[in-house]
Amino acid sequence: MFADELISCLREMYPGGYSHTCRDPFYMLVSTVLSQRTRDEVTIPATKRLFAVYDTPRKMAEADAEDIQALIRDVGFYRVKARRIVEISRIILQDYGGVVPNSMEELLRLPGVGRKTANCVLGYAYEQDVIAVDTHVHRISNRLGLVKTSGPDETEKELEKVVPKDAWKDVNGLMVLFGQSICRPTSPRCEECRLKAICPRIL
Ligand code: SF4
């Protein structure tokens, strides 16, 4: 399947795209750090609880990590993430005047921030043409034969070669929706999938 056909099909299936609670860069950064190895159903309410108390880099930087832990306790690795969020906020405050940086190079210097998190900030908050490869994007791209890769960073590079650039920033949201509803990690719902006629996984 050609990548542009896949994107068109997913846009038809999910015309509203992925709906984020908030696309503010700091909110997006913290929520994506919280989402690492944690399901959306847990991440979204935890982020809301956290921002109800600490809604700026300054407030978060001055917070006690233990108070943050109490607000995000159901998130995976919450103790580590609470410390990282305080540390990230201090760096943003001290080195960037309280504004989340908008380049991959600078974002990767923040503790706990890898390419996926950086690309979520760059794509969703700063609307740059990037492909954020999470577990859904990596799995679905390989199942459909768009790429043949062993890790997310390689998937990102390979997808950049086959997906039209003007669709890069839509890839994550569309594949997350598709991966949560149809092409699930285990027990994908192939019988009701619109792509089953062309999916190499079941041909
Ligand atoms: S046919 Fe199954 S494996 Fe293939 S894209 Fe659809 S849900 Fe995923």
Span 139-167, mean pLDDT? 96
The tens digit of pLDDT for each residue in 178-201 reads 999 999 999 999 999 999 988 988
What per-residue confidence (pLDDT) applies to 1? 60
If DSSP states are collapsed to H, E and C, what string results for 124-185? HHCCCCCCCCCHHHHHHHHHCCCCCCCCHHHHHHHHHHHCCHHHHHHHHHHHHHHHHHCCCC
Distance 183 CA to ligand 1 centre (A): 5
Mutate to test the pocket of ligand 1, among 9, 192, 202, 203 (most ligand atoms within 8 A of CB): 202
How long a stretch of residues is the chain?
203
143 CA closest ligand 1 atom index: 3
Determine if ligand 1 sits within 6 Å of the CB of residue 144: yes
The tens digit of pLDDT for each residue in 12-55 reads 999 988 888 788 999 999 999 999 999 889 999 999 999 999 99
Domains and CATH numbers, the chain: 3-17+130-192 (1.10.1670.10), 25-125 (1.10.340.30)
Give the span between the Cα atoms of 59 and 93, in whole angstroms. Answer: 10
Mutate to test the pocket of ligand 1, among 10, 183, 184 (most ligand atoms within 8 A of CB): 183
Give the span between the Cα atoms of 195 and 84, in whole angstroms. Answer: 40
Determine if ligand 1 sits within 6 Å of the CB of residue 199: yes
Answer whether residue 203 shows pLDDT above 80: no
Give the span between the Cα atoms of 123 and 104, in whole angstroms. Answer: 11
What per-residue confidence (pLDDT) applies to 201? 84
